Structure 1
């Protein structure tokens, strides 16, 4: 582990080849919570999620411990929310060649107005080469929330950047676990259910599971390694039945 800010506890771990989790623990809910961003280091480096605006100095410090922040080319977001893209414009200023990366809906309804540079808007199933790897965009409207929601799949490492799916309480201290996170995430969800429970949840889950991810890069809590398709389908059963 590399702690990049001792005061805040921000830390960096490599969870897959060239994929780094940046984790900052916070105490905004009982039992603790965490914000994770994910950095893909390649010829065209990509940061998935920015963290809240006020966390920008911590995240930039963490990125700089791995590579020059100015070399980022894509600042990606799952959906338009403060902890997804609160510091988007700060990142665009720090990385002069970077552009936002998001769904076509996100670009249309929010990002192209909010951001200081136009977004690279991706259609469902579209792929983008970062160098030795490609990332694939997967539309997932309203899963868990937000019409514009989508996720990224790194086809090189089989890592799915799954946003708010499998949100866990606590500080995310285990980093990358193969232990069960479904029960933990469901226990966190139920008191303040933040899922939209759309009518096509089962189809959306299957759309993600078909990618057969091996690592799930969760935005809150530990990342997870194992049969991602199985875990996603197990989540789908819970959501359809709730």
Structure 2
């Protein structure tokens, strides 16, 4: 069964953990506003549970937008299913993702947003950030909610097991322990430092990751620390 926790004003964390099938928790985020948005749909196989979790907060038919970071089943595998129950919802992603693949996978057109484009949800403003290969593929985006200063950081800060819904405790040690068992999970290259510098410059207050606790400690320092540890792990100069 999926769990639902409000991690900051109007932003809900929907999480599912089944240690028999995967060593990580899968998390979606629902922003409840005048125009509600779901970030990550979860995999198709988890759709019934995710749908029931969404119903605890809003009528799924009221969803205005659905988005995700990059093309993977746990990020957007249930998009078609959500589009069927949310007939007015618009799928939104980065322009590279739309160009590369998503237009061929999903039942309705996907709107491609440019770098730094802001989606107005009502009280909340969601800024789309083009972040190629952070965390994974060329199509990757991250999003930043400006009023609560929440950075939806996808697979950054992945940890194993079922963590607390929200924490102020250090997340770097657990995240790096997981990465050592997942070679190549977060590619590091010339692009990486610039993306992390940009994320730090946003001065987020809350990190909302896909496979770990929402982090309400020093988010800026956590990003700096992860950047440094990734470069060290890759044997590259910071």
Q: TM-score range by the shorter chain?
A: over 0.9
Paired with 2:112 and 2:5, the residues of 1 have a C-alpha distance of: 29
Number of matched pairs: 232
Which residue number corresponds to residue 209 of structure 2? 218
* Structure 1 residues 85-104: aligned runs within 5 Å: 85-104=76-95
Counterpart contact for 1:122–1:137, Cα < 8 Å: yes
Q: Any stretches of 5+ residues in structure 1 without a counterpart?
A: 1-7
Q: How far did residue 227 of structure 1 move?
A: 2.3
Paired with 2:94 and 2:218, the residues of 1 have a C-alpha distance of: 26
Q: Which is further off, 85-94 or 105-114?
A: 105-114
Q: How far did residue 155 of structure 1 move?
A: 0.4
Which residue number corresponds to residue 186 of structure 1? 176
Match status 1:16 vs 2:8: yes
| CA RMSD, Structure 1 to Structure 2 (Å) | 1.2
Which residue number corresponds to residue 229 of structure 1? 220
Q: How far did residue 198 of structure 1 move?
A: 2.2
Paired with 1:47 and 1:53, the residues of 2 have a C-alpha distance of: 15
**Distance of aligned partners of 1:29 and 1:240 in 2 relative to their CA distance in 1, 3 Å threshold:** farther
Q: How far did residue 33 of structure 1 move?
A: 2.1
Q: How far did residue 82 of structure 1 move?
A: 0.4
Match status 1:150 vs 2:141: yes
Match status 1:33 vs 2:24: yes
Which residue number corresponds to residue 72 of structure 1? 63
Counterpart contact for 1:138–1:208, Cα < 8 Å: no
Which residue number corresponds to residue 52 of structure 1? 43
Q: How far did residue 29 of structure 1 move?
A: 6.5
TM-score norm. by structure 1 comes to 0.93
**What's the CA shift string for 1:144-179, capped at 9, x where partnerless?**
21101011100011111100000111112x111000
Which residue number corresponds to residue 209 of structure 1? 200
Which residue number corresponds to residue 176 of structure 1? 166
Which residue number corresponds to residue 236 of structure 2? none
Paired with 1:105 and 1:164, the residues of 2 have a C-alpha distance of: 19
Instruction: Give 3-state SS (helix, strand or coil) of 1:192's partner.
Output: coil
**What's the CA shift string for 1:63-83, capped at 9, x where partnerless?**
001110011111111000000
Q: Any stretches of 5+ residues in structure 2 without a counterpart?
A: 234-238
Structure 1 moving runs of 4+ over 6 Å: none
Instruction: Give 3-state SS (helix, strand or coil) of 1:161's partner.
Output: strand
Counterpart contact for 1:142–1:149, Cα < 8 Å: yes
Quick one: which of 139, 156, 176 aligns to 1:165? 156
Paired with 1:71 and 1:122, the residues of 2 have a C-alpha distance of: 21
Paired with 2:201 and 2:18, the residues of 1 have a C-alpha distance of: 34
